[in-house]
Structure 1
């Protein structure tokens, strides 16, 4: 009995020493690694300066857009600066918040319990998940919301008045959807039913804009891969995996001391 108790005490001492090393050394090593990865991810959301002209001017990016289902619609879209500011800025803000949470625990900070580490990892993972979701889940918009967004008016030369355009990010792709419209006559026998919110509206969708009732007659969608968005998504995935791995290690130790707040 005494031998068994001694073995248990020795085992506990080894585990406690390993856990102290985890809290004092490995946790900070993971935090440093996460900060390095997320700083690289943050840089992907800033277009480089052109290096000429006025200071702070943004470099143009040209995107060759095409359809995977047909060769009828192709085009080149030139973005001056960040024309998709909301989705990209939201994602970057979440990344910046995650970096702040990590940097707030510098090398001199001593974690006392596993629960403290778990709380930090949960907070960081929440920000990273929100950043990733902002890119992977396009906003659902009604046709009037698209019309009011001003995206159609940003094109030069101006688009015909019977076209409505939506530009959005989906995963690592820049997507452009063109809706061709026709006006419903006041004496039309069609049952007018305004379409709700959607990422992609189908032909036959109806909406009211100003004093007109309009219907979508044709829909064309083109897209292209943006390499730096692909990089950002990879960084998010790797960072989330690192956070989960650290949480798993903490959980292994907590199973040995279920009565202690690890």
Structure 2
């Protein structure tokens, strides 16, 4: 290729790169913002939404939870009300199989009342990461386009990390030990309290709200699970937010891919990415499960 042709190609690359940094990036971030604002309407982010005149969609949702075996017997049956990231009302009947030498067996009932809610930490975490991503997007849109690829990639890595954390908070519940469940502050919302041989938990697993019931026994100074039962119910807005987190992640990743492809060319003026400073493997990948 002649020197003139190389110069022309370099000039075209530079113009395209500047367009991506100064215009395309803002269009993409505006799309991300619109998705996240719509997503935030499902969370109790009151200050964020009120400051922008956006209606919040958080409302009480009532669900029937039960597990029915082929025999027709149920171990869990009740009504649960979900309000944002709280179980604000519940009335649950439990049946525990009898175990010789233990008293925590038979039929029992416990309730949760609005003045002492069960907090779903997973949804609180997802809302916090969502809020963080919104702040970053709004700040960048106020500042205008990027001046370098490195600056763009740095922000996009921050957004991708926050959105991945938000999504994973809902999709993958954190495992807890029986001791952690028994010591949880949420157990104080149960009235009457459950026997020492019984532990329960509400948690989110992707699109479902799950209620788990554990029957435990003491063996060699350790707690062992003798029975485990669970009931689950699909929550429509869980599915909505997972889809929106995924869409926002894809927009961020697509923009990042456009920016990082120019790291192959060291003649793009104003950029600080070069073939000698490639994005790390962790920066190039987005986890979508």
Q: Which residue of structure 1 aligns with residue 41 of structure 2?
A: 43
Could you say which residue in structure 1 is the equivalent of 2:98? none
Asked if 1:88 corresponds to 2:123, the answer is: yes
Cα distance between partner residues in 2 of 1:248 and 1:34: 15
- In the superposition, the TM-score normalised over structure 2's length comes to 0.69
TM-superposed CA distance for 1:37, in Å, is 0.6
**Number of equivalenced pairs:** 225
Match of 1:122 in 2: 157
| C-alpha distance in structure 1 between counterparts of 2:146 and 2:68, whole Å | 51
Structure 2 counterparts to residues 1-262 of structure 1, below 5 A:
4-46=2-44, 59-67=59-67, 72-73=73-74, 75-79=77-81, 81=83, 82-83=86-87, 84-106=119-141, 108-155=143-190, 158=192, 161=195, 162-181=197-216, 191-192=219-220, 194-195=222-223, 205=224, 216-257=225-266, 261-262=272-273
Q: Which runs of 4+ in 1 moved over 6 A?
A: none
Instruction: State TM-score, norm by structure 1.
Output: 0.75
- The answer as to whether partners of 2:160 and 2:252 remain within 8 angstroms in 1 is yes
In structure 1, stretches of 5+ residues that fail to align are 49-55, 185-190, 196-204, 206-215
CA–CA distance in 1 between the matches of 2:14 and 2:23? 14
How many angstroms does 1:159 deviate by? 6.3
Summarize the Cα distance change of 1:119–1:69 in structure 2 as closer, same or farther, 3 Å threshold: farther
- Asked if 2 retains the 8 angstrom alpha-carbon contact of 1:30 and 1:242, the reply is yes
Return the offset for 1:144: 2.4
Distance in 2 between residues matched to 1:31 and 1:68, nearest whole Å: 47
Partners in 1 of 2:9 and 2:68 — Cα distance? 60
Q: Tell me, which stretches of 5 or more residues in structure 2 are unaligned?
A: 47-55, 88-118, 274-289
Larger strand percent = 2
